[in-house]
Amino acid sequence: MLAWLGISWHGIEATIAIAAGLIAGSIALVGFGADSLIESAAGFVLLWRFATRRSGSDRAERRAQRLIALTFYLLAGYIAVEAVRSLTGGEHPETSPVGIALAAFTVVTMPMLATAKARVSESLGSSATRAEGRQNMVCAYLSGALLIGLSANALGGWWWADPTTALVIAAVAVREGGEAWRGESCCAAPAGVVDGTDDCCR
């Protein structure tokens, strides 16, 4: 249920953000939309992970974890390249009221979704679910940085705040991707039961 909710919202979010970003020439806003698309992909990975045939598979758990980790790296790479290009080229994004409103809304709602997924991951004993929930927190970080960057550009004309804050989020995404990649599977035990010798879900 939470995965489908996240997928639906991120599809809407991506459409608004990318369209507004292209209009304003904002790399942080376009990157925010790209993050939403990647989070949708991570949601589908999670649904794949818990398909009936794979619900008790430790191998499927690890594969899902690593697929989710790769989405973090893809996001970080895209944002970093575009942000550096924007900085070196001196591109000045225009003011985007739609982007500011979207960022303000998302910075409030994404932590709530991430918290809900964290609770589900504990009950299922699934580090893949926890990793996908962490990606929602990356979205919250990105929306916070986006809000700062767009506001600084709108109020103070600080065009460089847009690509600079995008670089900060790229670094956060790399860190989160590394944690997801290294995470240990908790699904060898039955759902909701954590083996005493495995502390990855504690």
What range defines the domain where residue 133 resides? 2-182
pTM above 0.85, yes or no: no
User: In this structure, what CATH number is given to the domain that contains residue 18?
Assistant: 1.20.1510.10
pLDDT value, residue 158: 92
Residue 189, in any domain of the structure: no
Let me know: does 164 contact 152? Beta carbons within 8 Å.
no
84 inside domain: yes
Within-domain flag for 101: yes
Tell me the C-alpha to C-alpha distance, in Å, between residue 117 and each of 155, 165, 168, 198: 36, 26, 24, 21
Picking from 145, 177, 179, the residue whose alpha carbon sits closest to that of residue 32 is: 145
Q: Is residue 190 part of a domain?
A: no
Question: Which residues, in sequence order, are CB contacts of 137 under 8 Å at separation 6+?
Answer: 110, 111, 114, 176
Number of folded domains in the chain? 1
Question: What is the pLDDT, as a whole number, of residue 6?
Answer: 66
Q: Residue 159: which of 43, 27, 13, 6 has the closest Cα?
A: 27
The answer to whether residue 24 sits within a structural domain is: yes
197 inside domain: no
Q: pLDDT (tens digit, 0 to 9) for every residue of the chain, 202 residues total? A: 555 666 777 788 889 999 999 999 888 888 788 778 877 776 776 676 666 555 556 676 677 778 778 888 988 898 899 889 888 888 788 889 999 999 999 888 888 877 776 777 666 665 655 666 666 777 787 788 889 999 999 999 998 998 888 888 788 888 878 877 876 443 333 333 344 334 443 3
The two three-digit tokens of residue 188, written as one number: 């060898």
The rounded distance, in Å, linking the Cα atoms of 115 and 120 is 9
User: Residues 118, 140: contact at Cβ < 8 Å?
Assistant: no
Q: 91-110 burial string, b = 16+ CB within 10 Å, else e? A: bebeebebbbebbeebbeeb
DSSP conformation class of 52: G
Q: How high is the pLDDT of residue 69?
A: 82
Q: In this structure, is residue 202 part of a structural domain?
A: no
Asked whether residue 114 is domain-assigned, the answer is yes
CB proximity list for 3: less than 8 A, separation 6 or greater:
43, 46, 47, 132
